[in-house]
Chains A and B, each alone.
Chain A
Amino acid sequence: MPSLGADMESGTVLEWLVKPGDAVKRGDIVAVVDTSKAEIEVEIFENGVIGELLVGPGERVPVGTPLATVLAAGTNGAPVPTAVPPAPAPVAPVVVPPQVAPLPAHAPAAHRLRVSPLARRTAERLSVDLATVTGSGPHGAITRSDVEAVAAPVTAAAVTEAPPPVPHAAVTEAPPPAPPAAPADRQKAMRDAIAALMARSKREIPHYYLELQIDMTRAVEWLHEENVRRPLPERLLPSVLLLAAVARVVPDVPELNGYWIDGGFRPGSGVHLGVAISLRGGGLIAPALHDADRMSLDELMDGVRDLVQRARSGRLRGSEMSDPTITVTNLGERGVDLVHGVIYPPQVALVGFGAVRERPWAAEGMLGVRQVVCATLAADHRATDGHTGSRFLTLIDRRLQKPEEL
């Protein structure tokens, strides 16, 4: 059905002037159509033989509906893919009113938080649960500053803290997506969990402790040079070098990477480095950086930053809480020289770092000033002996002397 005017939507075939089998040529009049304004003669634009008439006299069809098929002259049967008017996509002849499901008399008004787009984006970036934010904007809308007030400034520098790596059992076994507990309740629960876990550690695990002073001069200098080349957001913190050194060494000392369960050692399935993170308002948590031995420095940096942000907003994943195979705690940022850690059951080792400081350093008969960090290991004597632990710390030392290979 050709369009015979810009406002024509459909037309009625009044009469066919050809029948199947008739030869036609371009320009022949083949049909008469009523457009509801006038009767119009329809020309054909192809040469050939009329195949089939698809719309009978009296039928009203939308513009674009094929009216007939035309066969190429000399063929017997197969229609040329040409309809009388070059047919656009066929239009459904009858417009069916769309079925609209009846609305319930009172559609339940789903409660939707009023959150500005910027606040929503900020909350995502800072891993803040909007349900915990009180809005101060127009009509109580949550604005960016409301989100930031909840998130509190987070920097990777604050990554580490606190000796006793922590709760697992009570806090994390079933990450409860329940209604958020009041902050005070949550803190009490965390304190209880830490208490139970640390008491169990000291009750059950015969710790042994080792300590090694490590010359960090080369590592610090290398880091400085590396950071000069990097844009500010991509700069590395010294604590990441320490994490990387541990992660690289763990595969060489698998006896320290795993769990003591039911009177025996079970090696970990990978190097999942627990990172002790202090929480605002008290308590701490030590989620895992999965497969840390295979992460680049940048990936470690990003991973730590991500863990810190999510740990502080309560958005850690279950696997991160249950997976750590060995834990690292770094109290150096807090200014202490060394930390004798408490092992996080059922793990068998905990590595600690104090502050990197300038110290007098005797080497090759000379006294000099070097950047020094004190690395410690608390290990489960049921699983390993001091010999293993010593090897572990000296390997870390060796790694830190070649920072460019981390």
Chain B
Amino acid sequence: MIEFFDVCKSFGPAKPAADHITLTVGDGEIFGFLGPNGAGKTTSIKMMAGILRPDSGSIRMNGVDIAKEPIRAKRQFGYVPDSPDLFVRLKGMEYLSFMADMYDVPAGGRAERIEKLAGEYEMTDALGDAIQSYSHGMRQKIVIMGALLHDPAVWILDEPMTGLDPKSSFSLKQMMRAHADAGKTVFFSTHVLEVAETVCDRVAIIDKGRILYAGRVQELKEHFSGDESLEKIFLEMTEHA
């Protein structure tokens, strides 16, 4: 579960990136975070991951306050940043071993977990190569594998589909569904409204740091004329915000 309590963050007086956000993402849910460029999506995600500190308010991961107990809170989630260019001088396997050490993944079962994830993402043959030689999509895959290695209860993914080939994208969506169905939480940001529409249980639309809507896609559509596309609704909401 992810909980935002009246979270504010600004980069200067006229630039609120998070404007009194209060939000709860429950267990067993895939939650989509939508918004135009510069709306505050990545800032909100970075505050969740502990990279940025809110100016006021608090964020809890499975009931653990990230500001008060940062290490315990960080163990609750796996985070995929928006840029996959991490530690490119390491080989794929070295990166995964490093992440496993950081998240205290037990020695027993570590190899099996890596093997399973590598199989899912067709990365088995590439793990001996330097990440520097990977394509953008392969880098995205290795970062996702590193984030999921410790089998976190909460997944936080910033634009995870960017650069993935159709098969890997499909595989990730299936994994997200399976994770939520197991009673755990997936929170991800995306620009692709079709993905949000087909995958998410609930979505939130954010613009200029304010949550304009948080709820089911179907309810949103019903609120408008009913047969309008999510794209049209999204544009209408953000243009009149």
* A and B bind: no
